[in-house]
Amino acid sequence: MPQDRQTNRRIVLASRPHGAPTAADFREEAQHLPTPGQGQLLLRTVWLSLDPYMRGRMSDAPSYVPPLAINETICGGTVSIVEQSHHADFKSGDWVLSYSGWQDFALSDGSGLVKLSGPVLQHPSWALGMLGMPGFTAYMGLLDIGNPQPGETVVVAAATGAVGSLVGQIAKIKGCHVVGIAGGAAKCRYAEDVLGFDRCLDHRDPNFAQQLSRHCSEGIDVYFESVGGAVFNAVLPLMNTRGRIPVCGLIADYNRTAPSAGPDQLPLLQSAILRKRLRVQGFIITQDYGHRFDEFFRQMSQWVAQGRLQFREDIVDGLDNAPEAFIGMLEGKNFGKVVIRVAGDKPAP
Ligand code: NDP
């Protein structure tokens, strides 16, 4: 259903998923369009970002931010247009980066909004991808924690996704040997042919661990961790002395409801960290690096302008398709950064 000017559709958390989310965990509601008061703006969502961290917000396990409440609008970054403004700093028609969540419209008092201007307006959804949070995550996690040096081997998981595709390309810019890990032949081909990785291996292949060992013949200096699980088990024995592991995400575990079966890997991990003096560091981009966004944005914009970065988007049309796209992303069905095209950039009828 398209946007209209009378109603605000929103998708709320109907229940906390147990394991993988299902359609029943989401509910679409329609409300009267809110009217902005003095000092407020009405924002219309054009693009909505879907990101794996949203799965964490649906759970009430302890985390670095409070969970979503039941019946609360699902959170999410958006690129929005100012429809009405009673705020001195914004006018109708301005494009902004907002955190409006899974809904057509949102009221704002202007706090936290970033006005979009310059080249990003040629491709506004990039403010949610290459030039936004995922790009920032790739840039800081790889360069600040991974500290890759020319000639070193960098391995990156979820290699064709929003973060991973940029990690590998930045590592190539820094002169590294890059091995990606992705799900399926088409993704691996894309990583090699379009993203320019030296190799990309399919983690679903029964011989994945042997292949990884063969293609990292000089060991692994930096492993950018987004996945965990079986992929990490294959990577760990190959880490070089003084290797670095930026721990960005553990998506293989996000839907887990019980500890994995099999031997306890913790002693192995601790022993490898000690013997090889590995640096293993988790990071949360929004909490740890906010002060360096300008540095990232300047450098990334320059690489984009020079044509040195490719960025594939998996565009899904319609807010009502967000739950299915989100469920699919956690299963690896997306091919590129998932963005929902909630509406066109023309005003709602
Ligand atoms: P992606 O666009 O990469 O989409 C998720 C991908 O994860 C899937 O396409 C799939 O790729 C892969 N995947 C899912 N399940 C598994 C599995 N069991 N084993 C291996 N791969 C799997 O998402 P993002 O780029 O947005 O996010 C990537 C990671 O970065 C996530 O873990 C996310 O939580 C994390 N992140 C962390 C941030 C931070 O501040 N620490 C900020 C942003 C993201 P494939 O088919 O190739 O396996």
Q: Is 164 in the pocket of ligand 1 (CB under 6 A)?
A: yes
> DSSP secondary structure string, 165-185?
HHHHHHHHHTT-EEEEEESSH
- The SS3 of residue 320 is helix
State the Cα–Cα distance between residues 65 and 288, nearest whole angstrom: 13
Quote the tokens at residue 57. Answer: 């917000």
Which residue from 48, 58, 67 is spatially nearest to 13, judged by alpha carbons? 58
Q: Is 249 in the pocket of ligand 1 (CB under 6 A)?
A: yes
Task: Give the number of the atom of ligand 1 that is nearest the alpha carbon of residue 250.
Answer: 32
The whole-number pLDDT of residue 1 equals: 65
**E strand or H helix that includes residue 115:** strand 114-115
Nearest CA residue ID for atom 20, ligand 1? 227
The whole-number pLDDT of residue 118 equals: 86
Q: Is 54 in the pocket of ligand 1 (CB under 6 A)?
A: no
Residue whose CB lies within 8 A of the most ligand 1 atoms, among 226, 247, 330, 331, for a mutation test: 226
Which residue from 118, 140, 320, 89 is spatially nearest to 248, judged by alpha carbons? 140
Task: Give the number of the atom of ligand 1 that is nearest the alpha carbon of residue 163.
Answer: 25
Q: Is 285 in the pocket of ligand 1 (CB under 6 A)?
A: yes
The whole-number pLDDT of residue 2 equals: 67
State the Cα–Cα distance between residues 301 and 291, nearest whole angstrom: 17
Q: Is 113 in the pocket of ligand 1 (CB under 6 A)?
A: no
Q: How many Å lie between the centroid of ligand 1 and the Cα of residue 99?
A: 21
* Cα atoms in the 13 Å half-sphere on the side-chain side of 105: 25
State the Cα–Cα distance between residues 153 and 226, nearest whole angstrom: 17
Could you give the domains of the chain?
Answer: 7-129+311-341 (3.90.180.10), 135-287 (3.40.50.720)
Q: How many Å lie between the centroid of ligand 1 and the Cα of residue 158?
A: 5
Q: How many Å lie between the centroid of ligand 1 and the Cα of residue 157?
A: 8
The whole-number pLDDT of residue 344 equals: 79
Q: How many Å lie between the centroid of ligand 1 and the Cα of residue 101?
A: 20
Q: How many Å lie between the centroid of ligand 1 and the Cα of residue 50?
A: 11
Q: Which amino acid appears at position 35 of this protein?
A: T
Q: What is the pTM of this model?
A: 0.96
Q: What angle do CA 252, 257, 260 make, to 5 degrees?
A: 60
Nearest CA residue ID for atom 33, ligand 1? 249
The whole-number pLDDT of residue 264 equals: 87
Expressed in angstroms, the distance from the first to the final Cα of the chain is 13
The whole-number pLDDT of residue 123 equals: 94
Q: How many Å lie between the centroid of ligand 1 and the Cα of residue 180?
A: 13
Q: Is 146 in the pocket of ligand 1 (CB under 6 A)?
A: no
Q: What share of the chain is helix, strand, coil (3-state, %, to 5)?
A: 35, 25, 40
Task: Give the number of the atom of ligand 1 that is nearest the alpha carbon of residue 137.
Answer: 42
For residue 60, the tally of other CB atoms under 10 A from its CB is 12
Q: How many Å lie between the centroid of ligand 1 and the Cα of residue 292?
A: 23
Q: How many Å lie between the centroid of ligand 1 and the Cα of residue 86?
A: 39
Report yes or no: 230 and 212 within 8 Å, Cβ to Cβ: no
The whole-number pLDDT of residue 89 equals: 96
Tens of each residue's pLDDT in the chain, 349 residues: 666 778 999 999 999 999 999 999 999 999 999 899 999 999 999 999 999 999 999 999 989 999 999 999 999 999 999 999 999 999 999 999 999 999 999 999 999 999 999 888 999 999 999 999 999 999 999 999 999 999 999 999 999 999 999 999 999 999 999 999 999 999 999 999 999 999 999 999 999 999 999 999 999 999 999 999 999 999 999 999 999 999 999 999 999 888 887 888 899 999 999 999 999 999 999 999 999 999 999 999 999 999 999 999 999 999 999 999 999 999 999 999 999 999 976 655 5
